Structure 1
Amino acid sequence: MARIAQAARVSGRPTSAVRLVAVSKTHTAQAVAQLAACGQRHFGESRAQEGVAKIAVMPDAAFEWHFLGPVQRNKARLIARHFHWLHSLEGLDAAEALSRHAHAADTTLRVLIEVNVTADPRKHGLSAAALPAFLEAYCTRAWPGLRLSGLMTMAAHGAPESAARATFARLRELAADCRRAFGLAGFDELSMGMSDDYHWAIAEGATMVRIGRALFGARDIG
């Protein structure tokens, strides 16, 4: 948190503008509980069933759980009913399933659209070019149970500072363009930056950084 605060100050931003999401996927519930005892409240998981199992043993309402992986339709019910945030929306079919389950559970899931800014074929997410058409289609329908809140991306693995910052800056620009073009209220979240590049992401406007290895060490399992 001190490092995040320093990165925010250097960028002329308040520390409160950046939320730390501890990426606890593959780590034990005990490790998560130890971090929670230090005051951490936001946790990220990429596997629905694994995340739900941890949520069950950590039911404190003060915790917020973020789902980071691709949305499989057969897992949409678990995600909508147990998580507070989704960082990886990339399809209308997934939105329909999530909306239906969230509405049935009388809950609200805050969703971010994943954008593959670098056009990496190994990564999930919409291309930057496809984002406006997706939003146009999304905005023609009501989505009970969903609150569209912003965008998410990842820089290329091992990218130098200039390339990583260009990726993050592009996501910030895309979000601003979308807010103007579609009149999106509350479309302010930028989920970008991980253990190796979060300080550059903060400099480019990240509101959420997803940190796993720097908090938990290497993954416990594959």
Structure 2
Amino acid sequence: MNKLQEARNQVLQQIEQACQLAGRLQQSVELLAVSKTHPAEMLREMYTTGQRSFGENYLQEALEKIEALADLEIEWHFIGHVQRNKTKHLASNFAWVHGVDRLIIAERLSAQRDVSQQPLNICLQVNIDDQDSKDGCAPDEVAELVRQISLLPNLKLRGLMVIPAPNNTQAFFDARQLFEQVKAEHAHPEDWDTLSMGMSGDMVDAIAAGSTMVRVGTALFGARDYSK
């Protein structure tokens, strides 16, 4: 068994154990492999382990990998902050965008998504614990953003994405509460199914609070190399 297969098996085992502790089914939590800074060859090898969803933070790097791995059926997620001048590439090349926190960004993504493609899956990024250093809308802005974005064509609003401060496990429960509040009022509750939270170091706590998608990089691929 190669190192990537072993690493993925260990992460899946952690997810399974966390789900058991929380009284949840393992299949209720999706593993998103965060592959930023890692070469396309490593993603190709991870693909052979059964991994299909990959998350990228840097657009230019992601576009190069998407082209290099075009022969594989990868579901590409963009999980970085979304800038206005990047929306066209995001709308064309990704299945999911997690970093939407303003209406203007959603409007641009909707207008630039080709009608021949499946609707672009969107998660609202929420600054759940009011960190100065984090992007995201305020929790009290979510309901109105959901109402407005739900009216846009070519998008499917799936849920929330949060990145709490380290060791702030309460923020995961706050995010789950907000997620459930919105679902109760959402015009399309059947689409509102994704709570993207938890990474290599805190995914057990995130799953306990109700995460449906964990974004794992280091535990799968090893330490990131930012020198390239």
TM norm structure 2: 0.89
- What secondary structure is seen at the aligned counterpart in 1 of 2:215? strand
Indicate the residue corresponding to 1:109 in structure 2: 120
1:203 equivalent among 205, 208, 214: 208
Q: Secondary structure at the match of 1:129?
A: helix
CA deviation after TM superposition for structure 1 residue 217, in Å: 1.4
Q: Spell out, residue by residue over 1:142-172, the C-alpha distance to the aligned partner (whole angstroms, 9 max, x if none).
A: 3121100000101213x1xxx31x1111111
Task: Confirm or deny that 1:220 pairs with 2:225.
Answer: yes
Give the residue type in structure 2 aligned to 1:149: R
Q: Tell me the distance in 2 between the aligned counterparts of 1:93 and 1:174.
A: 22
SS of the equivalent of 2:214 reads strand
Paired with 1:52 and 1:108, the residues of 2 have a C-alpha distance of 19
Contact 1:22 1:215 in 2 (8 A): yes
User: Following superposition of structure 1 onto structure 2, how do residues 1-222 of structure 1 map, counting pairs within 5 Å?
Assistant: 1-60=12-71, 62-104=73-115, 106-139=117-150, 142-157=151-166, 159=167, 163-164=168-169, 166-185=170-189, 186-221=191-226
Classify the secondary structure of the residue corresponding to 1:21.
Answer: strand
More deviation in 177-186 or 93-102?
Answer: 177-186
Instruction: Give the conservation status (yes or no) of the 8 Å contact 1:81–1:105.
Output: no
Letter of the 2:162 counterpart: T
Deviation at 1:135, TM superposition (A): 2.5
Alpha-carbon offset, residue 182 of structure 1: 3.1
Within 1, Cα distance between the matches of 2:211 and 2:147?
Answer: 24
TM-score by length of 1: 0.91
Q: Give the CA RMSD over aligned residues.
A: 1.5
Give the number of equivalent residue pairs: 215
> Are residues 80 and 148 of structure 1, via their aligned partners in 2, closer, same or farther at CA, if it must alter by over 3 Å?
same
Gaps of 5+ in 1: none
Query: Is the Cα contact below 8 Å between 2:149 and 2:157 reproduced in 1?
Result: no
Question: Equivalent residue of 2:205, what SS?
Answer: helix
- The answer (yes or no) to whether the contact 1:22–1:210 under 8 Å persists in 2 is yes
The structural deviation recorded for 1:60 is 4.3
Measure how far apart 1:61 and its partner are.
Answer: 5.5
Distance 1:61 1:169 in 2: 36
Distance apart, 1:45 and its partner CA: 0.3
Q: Percent of counterpart pairs with the same letter?
A: 39
Give 1:150's aligned amino acid: G
What is the alpha-carbon distance in structure 2 between the residues aligned to residue 206 and residue 212 of structure 1?
A: 16
